[in-house]
Amino acid sequence: MNPQDFGKVAVLMGGLSGERQVSLKSGEAVLQALKRKHVDAYGVDADRRVIQVLADGKFDRAFIALHGRWGEDGVIQGALELLGLPYTGSRVLASALGMDKLRCKRLWATAGIQTAEYIELHADTDLDEIEHWLGFPVFVKPNQEGSSLGISKARSVTELAVAWKAAHEFDDTVFVERCIEGGEYTVTILNGEALPAIKVETPREFYDYQAKYHENTTRYLCPCGLPEPAEKALQQIALKAFDAVGCHGWGRVDFMVSKDGAPYALEVNTVPGMTDHSLVPMAAKYAGIGFDDLVYRILETSHVDR
C-alpha cells in the first residue's frame, strides 16, 4: 500500500488500563514512525470519549497501540467495528481470548499445546494443598492483566496467601501456576511468519514489570541460543498457538522452555509493546526489518468487519 492509501490514521494510545504509561510510549514511537513513512497519522489518547473523537475526527483507520484492558481485550476492537474503521491486529474474539489467560490455556490444551499446570483460586481453595498439587515455587497471576502486573512468585503457603491478595487487586479471577525451571523465550508473529526467537534473562526474581521497562540489567539474546531445530520447533508451536486463538496480523507468543527442552506456552500478546525495551522490534531488527518498516507492515494488517 502507498502511504496515502491509508487515509487519516488514528494511533490509539494511553487508555485506561494499568499499562497506560507503557502504551503512551508505544503509541508515540509508532506515531513518529508512521510520520517518517509519510502516513497521515495522529495520536489519540483513548479515554472514554474515544468513539466520539474518532467519529468527529473523520479518521479512516486506526493503529491500536493500547495495552491491557479496554484496548487489548476486544473492547476497542468492537467499538472500531461499529464505527466501520479498519484497525490493526486481532479481531474481537481473539483479543478477548488472548487477554483471558485461563480460557486461552484451556483452548491451547484442546489444540495439543502444552502449558504449565495451574489451579484457579477460590475462597474455598485449600492453600495447604497447593504444594501437593503443583509444588513450590509457583507463580500467582491475575487472569486479565499484561506487563506482569500483579504477578508474584511464591515459595510457601504464607507467600502464596500474600501473592493471592496482591493479584486480587488487579482482577477478581486469580490462578496459581507451576513454576517451570528453565529459560524464557518469546516469538514474534508478523503476517503469518514467525520471526527469530528471543531469550530473556534477568537477575531479578522473574521477568516482572520492572525488568521489562526500567532495568538495564535485563538481557535479550537474539540469536536465542537454542539449536536450530529447537528454535524452528518453537516457532512452529508459536504459529500454532497464535492460530488456535484466531489471532491476526501480528503479535507475540511467550514461552518457558524447561531444562529438558520442553516448551510451555505462557500467553499470547495481541498488542505487544513497541517501546525501546520491547521485544517485537528487537526480533524484527534481527530479521532485517527496521522499526519504521515494522510499523508500516503492522498498519497493513488493518481490517474491518462490515
The pLDDT tens digits of the residues spanning 213-228 come to 555 678 899 999 999 9
Q: Determine the Cα–Cα distance for residues 143 and 24; give it in Å rounded to an integer.
A: 23
Q: Catalytic site residue 228?
A: no
The pLDDT tens digits of the residues spanning 94-112 come to 999 999 999 999 999 999 9
Q: Catalytic site residue 145?
A: no
> Could you tell me if 128 and 14 lie in one domain?
no
Among 45, 73, 100, 254, the active-site one is 254
The cell for 273 is 509493546
Among 87, 145, 267, 296, the active-site one is 267
Q: Catalytic site residue 252?
A: yes
Number of structural domains in the chain:
3
The pLDDT tens digits of the residues spanning 169-207 come to 888 899 999 999 999 999 999 999 999 999 998 766 655
| Average pLDDT value for residue range 245-262 | 96
Among 95, 143, 269, 302, the active-site one is 269
- Answer with the residue of higher pLDDT: 248 or 277: 248
> Could you tell me if 242 and 107 lie in one domain?
yes
Among 252, 278, 296, 302, the active-site one is 252
Among 87, 185, 207, 213, the active-site one is 213
| pLDDT score for 151 | 86
The pLDDT tens digits of the residues spanning 17-54 come to 888 998 999 999 999 999 999 999 999 999 999 999 99
> Could you tell me if 101 and 213 lie in one domain?
yes
Answer whether residue 303 is part of any domain.
no
**CB 168, CB 122: distance < 8 Å:** no
Q: What is the pTM of this model?
A: 0.90
Q: Determine the Cα–Cα distance for residues 250 and 237; give it in Å rounded to an integer.
A: 15
Q: What is the CATH number of the domain that holds 191?
A: 3.30.470.20
Task: Give Cβ neighbours of residue 189 (< 8 Å, ≥ 6 apart).
Answer: 195, 238, 239, 242, 247, 250, 251, 252, 253
Q: Catalytic site residue 143?
A: no
| pLDDT score for 144 | 79
> Could you tell me if 33 and 50 lie in one domain?
yes
> Could you tell me if 129 and 159 lie in one domain?
yes
Answer whether residue 83 is part of any domain.
yes
Q: What percent of the chain has pLDDT over 70?
A: 93
**Antiparallel, parallel or unpaired: β 138-142 and 152-154:** antiparallel
The cell for 120 is 484457579
Q: What is the CATH number of the domain that holds 42?
A: 3.40.50.20
> Could you tell me if 192 and 166 lie in one domain?
no
Q: Catalytic site residue 20?
A: no
| Average pLDDT value for residue range 282-288 | 96
> Could you tell me if 40 and 150 lie in one domain?
no
- Residue 137 belongs to domain spanning: 118-178
Answer whether residue 268 is part of any domain.
yes
Query: Where does a domain end: 178, 193, 221?
Result: 178
Answer whether residue 256 is part of any domain.
yes
Instruction: Assign 64 to helix, strand or coil.
Output: strand
Q: Determine the Cα–Cα distance for residues 267 and 273; give it in Å rounded to an integer.
A: 14
Among 14, 15, 19, 61, the active-site one is 19
Between the CA atoms of 213, 216, 222 and 226, what dihedral angle is there, to the nearest 10 degrees? -100
Among 273, 278, 296, 302, the active-site one is 273
Answer whether residue 299 is part of any domain.
no
| pLDDT score for 202 | 78
CA atoms within 13 A of residue 158's CA, in its CB half-sphere: 0
Q: Catalytic site residue 169?
A: no
Among 17, 23, 147, 152, the active-site one is 147
| pLDDT score for 217 | 72
**CB 198, CB 285: distance < 8 Å:** no
> Could you tell me if 103 and 159 lie in one domain?
no
Q: Determine the Cα–Cα distance for residues 42 and 83; give it in Å rounded to an integer.
A: 18
Query: With bands split at pLDDT 50, 70 and 90, how would you rate the model's confidence at 306?
Result: very low
Helix, strand, coil % in the chain, rounded to nearest 5: 35, 25, 40
